[in-house]
Amino acid sequence: MRNSDILVLKAEEVSSLLANREHDLIEIVQKAYETHAAGRSSLPHSTFLHFPHDSSSRIIALPAYLGGDFNTAGVKWVSSFPGNLNRGIDRASAVIVLNSTTTGRLEAIIEGSIINAKRTAAIAAVASRHLIQSKSDLTLGLLGCGPINFEIARFELAVHPQIARIVAYDVIPERANRFKEKCLDEFDEVRIDIVSDISDLLSMSTHVSLATTAIKPHIHNLSSMAPGSTILNVSLRDLTPELILSCDNIVDDVDHVCRAQTSLHLAEQLTGDRDFIRCTLADILAGKASARRDRDSIAVFSPFGLGILDLAVGQFAHNLAMGQKCGVSINSFLPAPWNVIYGDESVTPTSI
């Protein structure tokens, strides 16, 4: 490809490129976290675009640079419109833009919702394989029966093949039943049970993934959970701040996760500090902190979902596409240089 060309990857191409790559993506996400923790990244705060007529919907821009072996820069532009489910379309849509770290020029436009789901699932898998204490008799609980938890189920089964049972709950029973059918079609030899109450989900699961569209906390009690359980707090706003303060808290980035009215942001507002956060996941990966505060505490991992992770997975998909000659190359998408100076001569080329 020439410097003026860009690569476009559509959803079906991204899906094909990343199929059966769970372990690759888990290692990519872990390495991205380690690179970020080493200071080889630039990660501005995400920008939230809200709508005064619709408090549940938003569009978020996540710009980032990830150095080290990744050496990638760009932005994810992702929308969340829960009302889309009533329109028969997905809640979330996204695009990832990759730029050259040498020239800053646009290199690729990649469908981002599939990458968003898979990198979120990879985040959960990296955390759970370090935080879960039991190595047998695992039951995965899924609160929210959408594409995020479907991918989390896939990735959890990749890192914990001993999971024999999945318990799921959704506020819309029909959605939960469809979710069960999809799981039975996709995952072999795993029992899928739908429950009608969140407390049942919590009591039956060794670890639980929260992936909902909640904008305010609605879970006020964790007493039904067994001591030493693990919560993957993916959607960030389900737990009350009082529950957060009672748990062993691990995050991906302290500054980023304490924003935008997340449960941890509410806990910070309640206490006036962030001392309730014990460590980051990168601290555990590097051996700077123990995986658990103690054996009986409920561990809560709250990942903000850093833009560096979308870029890391997006760059991986881009590299695979280039090697397999996949996607559509748009020739001369960028304009030719308006004025390029070589030595003492001014040249305006028509192409590069």
- List Cβ neighbours of 140 (8 Å cut-off, separation of 6 or more): 153, 156, 160, 163, 165, 166, 167, 205, 206, 207, 208, 209
For the chain, the structural domain boundaries read: 6-115+307-347, 134-302
| Residues composing the chain | 352
Residue 154 near residue 187 (C-beta atoms within 8 A): yes
State residue 343's pLDDT score: 52
Structure tokens at 187: 């995952």
What number of CA atoms fall less than 13 Å from residue 60's CA on the CB side? 20
DSSP tag of 263:
H
Helices (H) and strands (E) in the chain, counts: 12, 18
- pLDDT at site 222: 98
Among residues 243, 303, 245, the alpha carbon closest in space to that of 275 is found at 245
Residues 119 and 309 sit within 8 Å (Cβ to Cβ): yes
Within 13 Å of residue 2, how many CA atoms lie on the same side as its CB? 12
Q: Are 141 and 168 in contact (CB under 8 A)?
A: yes
What pLDDT score does 137 carry? Answer: 87
191, amino acid identity: R
Quick one: pLDDT at residue 351?
A: 41
Looking at the DSSP bridge assignments, the partners of residue 141 are 167, 208
Residue type, 71: N
6-115+307-347: which CATH architecture? 2-Layer Sandwich (3.30)
What is the spatial distance between Cα 47 and Cα 164, in angstroms, rounded to a whole number?
A: 40
Q: What is the pLDDT along the chain (352 residues), one digit of tens a residue?
A: 667 799 999 999 999 999 999 999 999 999 999 999 999 999 999 999 999 999 889 999 999 999 999 999 999 999 999 899 889 999 999 999 999 999 999 999 999 999 999 999 999 999 999 999 887 889 999 999 999 999 999 999 999 999 999 999 999 999 999 999 999 999 988 999 999 999 999 999 999 999 999 999 999 999 999 999 999 999 999 999 999 999 999 999 999 999 999 999 999 999 999 999 999 999 999 999 999 999 999 999 999 999 999 999 999 999 999 999 999 999 988 888 887 655 544 444 444 3
The pLDDT of residue 2: 65
Cα(266)–Cα(307) distance, integer angstroms: 22
| CATH 1.20.1730.10, applies to 134-302 | no
